[in-house]
Chains A and B, each alone.
Chain A
Amino acid sequence: TQLLEQSPQFLSIQEGENLTVYCNSSSVFSSLQWYRQEPGEGPVLLVTVVTGGEVKKLKRLTFQFGDARKDSSLHITAAQPGDTGLYLCAALYNQGGKLIFGQGTELSVKP
């Protein structure tokens, strides 16, 4: 059973389009993180959301944490080829720092 359900798993869009990635769970989390990973590299932390209903913006990326702290979304406005990569949501499983990851969303933005 996947504790964090991430969707869609694959997304191929044209430059300039908008997209949303979802991360859902039946569990409540104290915080949730979003990472971006490029091929052959380690994941890079984009944002941590901790408060229910919180919205954080990072240039064209908007992250939202659900009111009940069970789900989160990542919205990208006017996607660019440089946004191509694997996007991962992750939640803290315990106080020891163990993370659980969603399945990931492979995004391809074509020029």
Chain B
Amino acid sequence: AQTVTQSQPEMSVQEAETVTLSCTYDTSESDYYLFWYKQPPSRQMILVIRQEAYKQQNATENRFSVNFQKAAKSFSLKISDSQLGDAAMYFCAYRTNTGTASKLTFGTGTRLQVTL
């Protein structure tokens, strides 16, 4: 079974600075997707960024980018120019792209605080 590990329960960053959230995963598959979701206090799950395992180029969405290291099974999220609105729980998630399974497997999350 696939597992997703987020080893940083909490992180803090000053406004306008850069922060990196870590995620590692375990799988024997070669075809899969990885995601970062943001969960603000409203609890709404918001997709931040996704990465297909077969794509070597790291995904980027405005201030959010990933460092995908397939051999190391690492998928970190970098937030540049942090804003107060970035404060939230961030969850890393995995989804296979093979077979009939379509579920997301989530890590335990990292709580990001943004300070002035």
Is this pair of chains taken from one and the same complex?
no
Residues of A within 8 A of B (CB): none
Residues of B within 8 A of A (CB): none
